[in-house]
Amino acid sequence: MSSIFKFKKFEVDQTGCAMKINTDGVLLGAIVGHAAPIHILDIGTGTGVIALMLAQRYPKAKIDAVEIDDSAAAAAERNCLNTAFSDNITVHHRAIEKYDTDTKYQLIVSNPPYFINDLKSADKRKELARHADEDFFALLLQKVAGMLAEDGLLWLVLPVKQAEKVIVNAVLFKLFPSKIIRVYSDHTKTAFRHIICLGFKSEAILHEDFYIYESQAVYTSQYKAALKDFLLAF
């Protein structure tokens, strides 16, 4: 099977990446939003796919993509350099807690590790990509609060229970939810992910439901509309 994932305007080589392109990442890249971001930060960029999607959506923005894993950071840099968006994206090989910048970001996104106190993977690199220590999200929120512009937005995609915990803890850093998108596989199942948007303004929360499949192997018009600018199938 080829390690190359082809999108409409770029390709992503997943060679050497512990975590491959998945629904969580492409949905986040397609759904997140800000009126006019000047600076964007992608935390845990992996293959670089979310950074590339955002570069396509916001061609005037400058994007910093941070990745702790050696091979993934190298892959992300190759993938970004091999596109029309190479001048807009800078890949930083380091842990987010060691990423220091004076830049204030209008848009910060992350498809973070989320398995806490769970069975650890035997693959150490996959474990790093998918598992988080108990204090990881508190450290992430604290870091983001220091880098977010006054009108900035933080978007995360998480399992439902983890998303609920993050929303509660975010208040400690004066970050409040403005939108919660409940993601379902289809109409017969419960939500398996929440895409949440946090910012410094405390306002009424907008709730949305997002369904991926109409029936077995048949995508909803909602999913197709979200991904039509990116996936070759649409």
How confident is the model over 92-132, as pLDDT tens digits? 999 999 999 999 999 999 998 654 344 444 454 444 434 45
- pLDDT value of residue 128: 42
* pTM metric for this prediction: 0.91
- pLDDT value of residue 96: 93
Average pLDDT, the chain: 91
CATH level 2 (architecture), domain 4-113+122-227:
3-Layer(aba) Sandwich (3.40)
Span 69-101, pLDDT tens digits:
999 999 999 999 989 999 999 999 999 999 999
List the beta bridge partners of residue 193: 183
Contact status, residue 226 vs residue 208, Cβ threshold 8 Å: no
Enumerate the domain spans of the chain: 4-113+122-227
Buried b (16+ CB within 10 A) or exposed e, 187-198: eeeebebbbbbb
- pLDDT value of residue 20: 85
Grouping H, G, I as helix, E, B as strand and the rest as coil, residue 71 is helix
Where is pLDDT greater, at 132 or 159? 159
Tell the burial category of 102 from Cβ atoms under 10 Å away from its Cβ (0-12, 13-18, 19+).
exposed
Span 18-40, pLDDT tens digits:
778 999 999 999 999 999 999 99
Q: Is 16 left (phi over 0), alpha (psi -120 to 50) or beta?
A: left
